[in-house]
Amino acid sequence: MADGKKKVTLSVDAKIYDRYREYCNENAIMLSKKIELYMKKELEKAKSEKKK
């Protein structure tokens, strides 16, 4: 994609997804951005642990 974004397909528990999607909608949060930030934090955490 031109903007550097990649579309992915994930399989997650339907009830958890529905509840989290509702939470994001109620709090004006973009679900995809929230997942992206989680992934970034995990990578940063792994990188800092690897340096120890």
Task: Categorize the per-residue pLDDT at 20 as very low, low, confident or very high, splitting at 50, 70 and 90.
Answer: very high
Q: Which tops the pLDDT comparison, 49 or 27? A: 27
Classified as helix, coil or strand, 48 is helix
**CB count, 10 Å around CB of 34?**
14
Closest CA to 36 of 6, 1, 12: 6
pLDDT confidence of residue 2:
57
Rounded Cα distance between 32 and 50, Å, is 27
Task: Categorize the per-residue pLDDT at 16 as very low, low, confident or very high, splitting at 50, 70 and 90.
Answer: very high
pLDDT confidence of residue 23:
95
pTM: 0.73
> At a CB cut-off of 8 Å and minimum separation 6, what does 29 contact?
23
Give Dmax over CA atoms of the chain in angstroms: 40
Token pair of 41 as six digits: 């934090």
Task: Categorize the per-residue pLDDT at 27 as very low, low, confident or very high, splitting at 50, 70 and 90.
Answer: very high
